Structure 1
Amino acid sequence: MKTSDWKQEFREALTGWYREEKRDLPWRHTRNPYHIWISEVMLQQTRVDTVIPYYARFTERFSDMKELAYAPEEELMKMWEGLGYYSRARNLQSSVREAYETYGEVPADPEKFGKLKGVGPYTEGAVMSIAYGIPAPAVDGNVMRVLSRILLIEEDIAKPKTRRLFEEAVMELIDREDPSSFNQGMMELGAVICTPRRPKCLLCPVRDFCGAYHEGREEELPVKSKKKKQQSFPQTVIALRDPEGRWLMEQRPEEGLLAGMWQFPTAETADPEEAVRIISGRHRLTVGPIEEAVRFRHVFTHRIWEVTAYAASVPDRGTPADRSGWFRPEEFDMLTLPNPTKKVRAALGL
């Protein structure tokens, strides 16, 4: 149960547990602020096991800020391929370039670092505390869940304004001698013990301080309003093969969903005949009979694609639209392909 000096006891229990029990992860073996920055961006909305090999390849290829700041975008996106949420890669490169050109390093100043384009409050707090030992709040979903239960906070964590409440709570509790272990301990606790469903309360190092545990409300908290229902959009893919075995690929616009990535010709319609008309007009070519290859649903954060893919042959290459071209299957690996396109490629056996 909580005592008059429970905050000190809480932070000692949390940081002691973290130092003994933390998972062995590659970014925990460095104090390099640039590498820690990379890991924190990759870990946003992505599983730890998925990130580990990407982090290793990325920090080897872009070993310092200058390497990443001036890397060709095509290479950057190829290195990020498969991690998803591709705007993270572009924002990371942009903010690293700004930091390199302005400071020559990752500034050890929360205000300066936080003002870099693309650096949000969580990234600011995580990098400053882990790399530089600066007491700063790093509030993500794991931390909000833990504190909702510890402190019986009933505000809706889905509302942006609620984050400030949790940031203030962290600053009340944070270990100013070791803010790195405190913040990472909070994240670790939320990831492996204080999970969204069926939290492992009997294994929790801070259950004595947890209001939700003592009141039997751990499954009720945090309060989180439901997201709006995702809209579904039809996507009809017509994969086109020329007489020499090349396939037509289109590069998506530089802004928006899957920006700059390559795909088989696609039209936002559920009608395959309409898709053929759109795509043949776009590339000024004649499309032969189409044959269905695969159907699947691809879920993004805010939308769902209902994809139906067909294959067809063309007698000649026509006049491809801008940002398009013909490629042999062995050349596909040079292109940055989003996961929906990879699924179509696999269905076609390419």
Structure 2
Amino acid sequence: MSDAFTNAVLAWFYEHGRHDLPWQQNPTPYRVWVSEIMLQQTQVATVIPYYQRFMTTFPTVEALAAAPEEVVLQHWAGLGYYARARNLHDAAQQVMALGGEFPDNLADLMALKGIGRSTAGAILSLAWQKRGVIMDGNVKRVLSRHFAIAGDSSSAAIQAILWQLADSHTPNQQNRAYTQAMMDLGATLCTRSKPLCLYCPVQHTCQAYRLGTPTAFPQKKPSKSIPTKEAYFLLLENEKGQLLWVKRPPTGIWGGLWCLPELPVAIDLAQELKTRYGLIDAHIEARASFKHTFSHYHLWLKPLYVRGTMLMVNDELSQWCDKEQALTLGLPKPMLTLLAALDDT
């Protein structure tokens, strides 16, 4: 292999890379696929316990395809970006419709829901041991810095340059090792902030290092200010000390998960409680607000502890639960924060 960059990355990986991650053991297409979807927007340390629990419950694509979506979402609760879980479930059913065997080519892998070019390349490389080219956040960062690629890294033009570079340095042999090496290099040395350039195997040819500005790459468009929203979340308690939980719509934030009832702040609260739940002369206590940040906005959660009688809830998407029951539903992190706050009062 004549590519000095590729050779250096591979030599570093064999000595310093990660070789004991759970999905590296018995790397079937199913196991690799689940790990790749979980690792999108999420760090390895966070993913490992989720992955292990997921594999215990859904050890095969057949088990995942046959499971109710709600159970799949429960195992995803806390990882965020819940569309990934719904796409995972849908794609498992697609695979079963193909006879239960994962495709071993790029086009057919990309036809599965939630699988893009990079994820398909990772499955080809890590599971099928075929040549696959990837472009996850780690690879984008390494290549952008090493070749000092200026310009908005999310633009089509820069993406094309990065994909060309990724393809040109991806070897035909030792492809699985190289794919993992590039992920590891970006995750452990060429990190987003405070990169460990002195330990980098390709430091001597890295243009961003020569410029003295490695963290200036990859470049982005000037960021827009993220809007802030706010909403009430009701800790609506009945005479048994249970709280009301509502299943969210299948799309949107926390899609398909169970949450406390949400109300907009610009309402007549007393009238809304009366209309929705038959609550008259309700006892309402405001609890400490807190902020949760999504990719495109900040949400201020304003909890209200509400008690009263004549609670009329006849909705199949609502249920009363004590704390222990609620924890079995699989709740997004802000809901766990709200429950934990109850213990402090």
Shorter-chain TM-score tier: over 0.9
Kindly state the Cα deviation for residue 320 of structure 1 after the two structures are TM-superposed. 4.0
SS of the counterpart of 1:237? strand
State which of 93, 100, 107 in structure 1 corresponds to 2:89.
Answer: 93
Indicate yes or no: 2:286 matched with 1:289: no
SS of the counterpart of 1:227? coil
The AA in structure 2 aligned to 1:199 is: P
Q: Distance in 1 between matches of 2:322 and 2:211?
A: 63
SS of the counterpart of 1:258? coil
**Match of residue 336 from structure 1:** 330
**Cα 1:287–1:143 shift into 2, 3 Å:** farther
Q: How does 1:1-350 map to 2 (within 5 A)?
A: 8-23=3-18, 24-269=20-265, 274-286=268-280, 288-349=282-343
Kindly state the Cα deviation for residue 215 of structure 1 after the two structures are TM-superposed. 3.1
Q: How many residues in Structure 1 have an aligned counterpart in Structure 2? A: 343
After superposition, give the CA deviation of every residue in 1:93-129 in whole Å (9 maximum; x if it has no partner). Answer: 1112102211421111111111112211121111111
After superposition, give the CA deviation of every residue in 1:276-305 in whole Å (9 maximum; x if it has no partner). Answer: 432432233335121122210010111111
After superposition, give the CA deviation of every residue in 1:76-108 in whole Å (9 maximum; x if it has no partner). Answer: 111111111111001011112102211421111
Q: Distance in 2 between matches of 1:237 and 1:215?
A: 50
SS of the counterpart of 2:245? strand
Contact kept in structure 2, 1:139 and 1:163, CA below 8 Å? no
SS of the counterpart of 1:53? helix
Q: Distance in 2 between matches of 1:91 and 1:305?
A: 25
Q: Distance in 2 between matches of 1:270 and 1:51?
A: 38
SS of the counterpart of 1:255? coil
Q: TM-score with structure 2 length normalisation?
A: 0.93
Q: Distance in 2 between matches of 1:36 and 1:275?
A: 49
Q: TM-score with structure 1 length normalisation?
A: 0.92
Bigger mean CA offset, 311-320 vs 260-269: 311-320
SS of the counterpart of 1:294? coil
Contact kept in structure 1, 2:323 and 2:339, CA below 8 Å? no
Bigger mean CA offset, 329-338 vs 89-98: 329-338
Kindly state the Cα deviation for residue 60 of structure 1 after the two structures are TM-superposed. 1.6
SS of the counterpart of 1:298? strand
The AA in structure 2 aligned to 1:19 is: Y
Identity %: 34
Contact kept in structure 2, 1:126 and 1:136, CA below 8 Å? yes
Kindly state the Cα deviation for residue 322 of structure 1 after the two structures are TM-superposed. 4.9
**Cα 1:340–1:219 shift into 2, 3 Å:** closer
Contact kept in structure 1, 2:203 and 2:209, CA below 8 Å? yes
Bigger mean CA offset, 203-212 vs 313-322: 313-322
Q: Distance in 2 between matches of 1:215 and 1:286?
A: 68
Q: What is the alpha-carbon root mean square deviation over aligned residues?
A: 1.9
Contact kept in structure 2, 1:235 and 1:307, CA below 8 Å? yes
The AA in structure 2 aligned to 1:14 is: V
Q: Distance in 1 between matches of 2:138 and 2:223?
A: 18
Q: Distance in 1 between matches of 2:262 and 2:44?
A: 33
SS of the counterpart of 1:315? coil
The AA in structure 1 aligned to 2:118 is: Y
Q: Distance in 2 between matches of 1:122 and 1:116?
A: 13
Q: Distance in 1 between matches of 2:294 and 2:315?
A: 27
Q: Distance in 2 between matches of 1:55 and 1:330?
A: 23
Kindly report structure 1 stretches of 4+ aligned residues shifted beyond 6 Å: none
